[in-house]
Amino acid sequence: MQIGFIGTGVMGTGIIQNLLKAGHQVVVYNRTKAHAQTVLTAGATWADSPQAVAAQSTVIITMVGFPQDVQDVYSRTDGIFAGARPGSTVIDMTTSTPVLAVELTKTAHELKLKALDAPVSGGDVGAKNATLTVMVGGDQEAYQAMKPLFDQIGQRVNYFGTAGKGQHTKMANQIMIAGTMTGLTEMLVYAKAAGLDLPQVLATLSSGGADNWSMENYVPRILKGDYTPGFFAKHFLKDLRIALREADRMHLDLPATQQAKQLYETMVDDCGLGDDGTQGLIKIYEDK
């Protein structure tokens, strides 16, 4: 299968490497070519624009930073829609807005393309190890056709319905993660202040009802002072803002998620730590 992939960041790199291992030909584009060097060395080929990627591919996948980046790579004059051939499938794996997913699907159909929104969960570890959770919305026929491909990059793949439903599912995921990230952060602050042995606390809590993916994956990094991004804090803040806007549309009040957003705004906007991983939230407590 000839796959085009736009976005060679932390997540995209891991996914591309697994697609290459599965035997696919992958052509890539990234805003900064130097950031694509890892996948180029692994066997991917380079194209000079999203349009050029699309023209060479039957499946075009995007995983970029923000909704405005998604809009740009699809709709600009040298974008995906300018180069994609009728019958091709476009898959946006960026965590973006449900509204944009619906808009892109509408345009894709007008161009005789199939479209899926398929955000993922599992962080850099999941991308590297092909253990991602993939949440899919869009054309059911396209989903069935792409399911074998999704299975090559993820261990759990689920279809949720029409365009935008994958993004709504990812928002539900991020609301949950907001609770686990703030919880593990304040757990560590409390345990440290109480004079407890933090590795022992982690080992104990991991064997009980408090166990969760975020704690198992991020607390060991925090204990080593490792704040490299498995998932950028600035991108998580973007996700929380999207989730709360969607909640407003549905007339929902989510005070705990609102509080998590405010904490990440302190980290990202006030402290300038947006390029840290989400586990860097603990720094705003250490500075108090």
How would you classify residue 272: left for phi > 0, otherwise alpha for psi between -120 and 50, otherwise beta?
A: left
- What CA dihedral angle connects 67, 50, 32 and 167, to 10 degrees? 30
Q: 175 CB contacts (<8 Å, ≥6 apart)? A: 243, 254, 257
- Find tokens 């599912």 and name the residue: 169
**DSSP-assigned letter for residue 8:** -
Catalytic residue, candidates 165, 170, 234, 261: 170
For 8, 14, 24, 85, the CA distances from 216, given in Å and listed in that order, are 26, 20, 33, 44
Which residue is associated with the tokens 């860097």? Answer: 280
Tokens 């998604």 belong to residue = 70
Q: Give the residue from 115, 107, 106, 99 showing the smallest Cα distance to 164.
A: 99
Active site residue 114: no
The two three-digit tokens of residue 239, written as one number: 């996700």
Hunting for tokens 């074998």 — which residue is that? 148
Structure tokens at 165: 């439903």
The residue whose two tokens read 């993916």 is 213
**Neighbour tally for 50: CB within 10 Å:** 27
Cα(256)–Cα(248) distance, integer angstroms: 14
Closest CA to 112 of 77, 138, 88: 88
Alpha-helical regions (H) of the chain = 10-21, 37-42, 50-55, 67-75, 80-83, 98-110, 123-129, 140-151, 165-193, 198-205, 213-223, 233-249, 255-265, 283-286
Provide the annotated active-site residues. 170
